[in-house]
A and B are shown apart, each in its own frame.
Chain A
Amino acid sequence: MKPDDRQIEWIEEPKLGLSGRSYLPLYVEGLTTTIKHMFSRKKTIQYPEERYECPDPLGYRGVHRLNRDEQGRVKCVACFLCSTVCPAFCIDIVGAEAPWPDREKYPVSFTIDELRCISCGMCEQACPVGAIELTSLFDLSTKSREEAIFDKEKLLSVFDETKDAEPMPSGRCAVHPDTPTEEAP
């Protein structure tokens, strides 16, 4: 870039008035701004003692949980939609024939690698039965990489921990009521 480049628009800086040129008003303005901030309310949270209170826990995308239905069974029907849609390939499901009459399959094992997860929330959107959800728990920390791989029991226990604070969105149940029950041909 040369100074005589025709592409450059040469703009003169604005002329300062007497008060601007005498520095003093601007200096006082700067000082008052800093001192005002010095005694203002602090924005940071004292983390272990105070915790961030999520204004919308249902919208927050934190650690996963696997929801239970009214009878305490896992809601998941092992449809593999979440693991298919997952862009980080962090969900691993082993499905099997369900022992219960209201669904065909259920997950024998359901593991999520929380370290691979990018918290995009697409699994939550893809789930047809509202079984997988992202909670507002944000402080996931483990002492090893293996501990960060959550199995089915761990995910269900996350649900047990958070179900009171973050109820499942209403209108969702194991099988949507509008879905016509199909008899086996």
Chain B
Amino acid sequence: MLLITIEALIKIGLLIAGVMTAAAYLVLVERRVAAWIQDRRGPNRVGIPLTKIKLFGLGQPIADGGKFIFKEEFTPGHVDKALYFLAPIIIFAAAIAVFAAVPFGSVLPPDLGLPEAWQIESLAEPIPLVVAPGIDVGMIYIFALGGIGVYGVVLGGWASNNKYSLFGGLRSGAQLISYELPVGLGALGIVMVSGSLRLDTIITQQAQSGVWNCLTQPLGLLVFFVAAFAEAGRLPFDMAEAEQELVGGYHTEYSGMKLMMYLVGEYIHMFIASFLIVILFFGGWHLWGLTGSGEVVTWLIAILRVVVLMAKVLGMVLFYMIARWSWPRFRFDQVMAISWKVLLPLGMVNLVVVAVWVEYGNRLAAVIGLPQPAAMAACGWCVLVVSWLVAILAAPGTCDNRPRFAPVATGRPIEERLRP
């Protein structure tokens, strides 16, 4: 019991340190990537203090953190004190707590290389690299805590007693609640196939069959991917803090460490979304011909699996950052329309297709004459194309949402009116 506690504490320490460091350095990565995309170089100056060593700007996160810590923490007089203090704590704690169920690798071998006298009897089994191993409701736990994160946003906007904060909080609340449905539907397909809510089981199944879920359920991937973008509140879905429209969104009135908790919480949301996409759809720590798929591992394989998982997550995070500068933002009504009119029906279609394959997969594959994963993949991609076509043909061809009055009849043809 004591050993398990110590093991869990070590893992929690590693995880919190790792996540916080990763969040800090991802801010630097984001600034560098943004700069490169804008033909700039980005922060590359700050290195080791009091020396001239620059280290590609790796000291920047430390400088940023120090700045945040020493900043004045100003509490406006008009806020609801209790909720104002509570909101950033909720969003931050909920974001960090999600990682309890997210595996950050496979397992470690029990052989720690200790001398004979130090061998610990209870360490005879492989050590799973997840804080709460064997948590059977992993996915539900993650989505539940994601739902709690909404409270941080809404309460922050409400408690600030500022109309722009309130707008930001309302928009964000509406958006996050709407997109929880497609996120759940996208993940439900995976859960039905694997028959488990445990993330490590989902990875192991992909590794053992060698077929990643993104190949067999492309429609589910699409739904989950878009919805996860929106859940993380990243562009092109950054309704909550649209700088162009709201002053700063729900954290307008926050400063100092409380602001940092919000910003880090948002980064961790992006991080969690990347983890989930990789684990559910891209095989987690599995890579063909490199990591193996067994339960019993050597140290080399164990470390390789962690590296592969982290590389995949980093690639996904980089995609988030590049996507930010690639596509124009959606209008709020468009965001809502995509969730309720496009992603939700597509998620339902995916669910039906997956359910049919789970029930009749063997017989259907025998009829088609392909092995089951191949048949399922072929079917999945066909369904993706067809449902995508239906979605775009059913959507209105314009995105004009101005109030409809009778157009003024000027009698001039439109080409002439377009001319300046």
Contacts and interface: CB of A to CB of B under 8 A. Distances in A.
Interface size class of A (residues with CB under 8 A): 20 to 34
Given A13-B399, A42-B39, A35 B407 contact: no
A35 B327 CA distance: 12
A44 B36 CA distance: 10
Contact of B39 (A4, A18, A21, A40): A40
B388 interface: yes
Interface size class of B (residues with CB under 8 A): 20 to 34
Contacts of A21: 392-393, 395, 397
Interface stretch (B8-16, B172-180, B187-195, B410-418): B410-418
Nearest to A16: B397
B323 interface: yes
A18 to B, nearest CB: 8
B78 interface: no
B398 interface: yes
A47 B346 CA distance: 52
Given A13-B400, A34-B325, A35-B322, A43 B40 contact: yes
Interface stretch (A23-31, A109-117, A131-139): A23-31
A100 interface: no
A64 to B, nearest CB: 31
A10 B39 contact: no
B127 interface: no
A8 B417 CA distance: 11
B326 A27 contact: yes
A39 B322 CA distance: 12
Nearest to B323: A31
A169 interface: no
B40 A30 contact: no
A96 to B, nearest CB: 49
A38 B37 CA distance: 4
A3 interface: yes
A170 interface: no
Contact of A38 (B33, B327, B402, B418): B33
Contacts of B418: 11
Given A21-B397, A27-B327, A30-B326, A37 B408 contact: no
Nearest to A14: B398
A12 interface: yes
B327 A4 contact: no
B358 to A, nearest CB: 29
Nearest to A29: B326
A7 to B, nearest CB: 9
A37 B325 CA distance: 11
B243 to A, nearest CB: 19
Contacts of A42: 36, 39-41
A10 B397 CA distance: 18
Interface in B35-72: 36-41
A181 interface: no
B322 A31 contact: yes
B403 interface: yes
A21 to B, nearest CB: 5
A38 B30 CA distance: 12
A30 B37 CA distance: 12
B405 interface: yes
A24 to B, nearest CB: 8
Contacts of A13: 398-400
Interface of A: 3-4, 6, 8-13, 15-16, 18, 21-23, 27, 30-31, 33-35, 37-44, 46
21 contacts: A3-B403, A4-B406, A4-B408, A9-B417, A12-B398, A13-B398, A13-B399, A21-B395, A22-B392, A30-B327, A34-B322, A34-B325, A35-B322, A37-B39, A38-B322, A39-B36, A42-B39, A42-B40, A43-B39, A44-B41, A46-B41
Please provide the 6 A-B residue pairs with the shortest distance between their CB atoms, ordered closest to farther: A30-B326, A10-B407, A34-B326, A38-B36, A43-B39, A21-B392
Interface of B: 33, 36-41, 322-323, 325-327, 388-389, 392-393, 395, 397-400, 402-403, 405-408, 410, 414, 417-418
